[in-house]
Amino acid sequence: MPTRAVCPGSFDPVTLGHLDIITRSAASFDEVVVLITHNPHKHGMFTAEERAQLVTEATTHLPNVSVDTWTGLLVDYTQREGIDVIVKGLRSSLDYEYELPMAHMNKRLCGIDTFFLLTEQHYGHISSTLCKEVARYGGDVSSMLPEPVAQAMNAKLSEE
Ligand code: PNS
């Protein structure tokens, strides 16, 4: 049976750190769904559709990766779609503290395991939130984002 993994997150927008986790997941699992999921605690720069489009553009070279959006509980999606595992990236102990209760909750809700991949060190300081903040103040974040994402962020900021 092929193993289906999901990489859930806000991806507002997808960074090279995310792309590293997606790429390594795609090398370890038969199929990977990057799921743009609603986080009620975060206010977005891009719509869910725009985020999905940017992830699609950044992952065209990965044939076993697909992209989807979801506004409900993550475990409802994994059960509906026959997903076997959740994959998350960990940059630091702060991410660990944030992710641990979610992994336990998802396990409790439907038995699904969460696999954690350690972020490559040179991506450890990159987050969508910091990239947006630095870019808003005119800083150059183009080396931290896939090329189409850097262009889309510049376009979005020039509209603000
Ligand atoms: O990239 P993020 O914002 O840190 O990802 C968090 C996310 C979207 C994966 C998490 O908020 C989530 O799973 N949301 C879906 C709703 C849900 O299932 N909530 C309960 C999580 S235990």
Domain ranges of the chain: 4-159
CA of 103 to the centre of ligand 1 (A): 10
Whether 18 sits among the annotated catalytic residues: the reply is yes
Pick the CATH number of 4-159 from 1.25.40.10, 3.40.50.300, 3.40.50.620, 1.10.3720.10: 3.40.50.620
- At 145-154, the pLDDT tens digits run 999 999 999 9
Model confidence at 143: pLDDT above 80: yes
CB burial class (10 A; 0-12, 13-18, 19+) of residue 121?
Answer: exposed
List the residue whose alpha carbon is closest to atom 9 of ligand 1: 9
Q: Is 102 in the pocket of ligand 1 (CB under 6 A)?
A: yes
Q: How confident is the model at residue 46 (pLDDT cuts 50, 70, 90)?
A: very high
Whether 42 sits among the annotated catalytic residues: the reply is yes
- At 53-99, the pLDDT tens digits run 999 999 999 999 999 999 999 999 999 999 999 999 999 999 999 99
* Residue 117, number of CB atoms within 10 A of its CB: 16
Whether 91 sits among the annotated catalytic residues: the reply is yes
Global pTM reads 0.96
Rounded Cα gap, residues 32 and 41, in angstroms: 25
Q: Which of 28, 42, 125, 136 is catalytic?
A: 42
Q: Is 48 in the pocket of ligand 1 (CB under 6 A)?
A: no
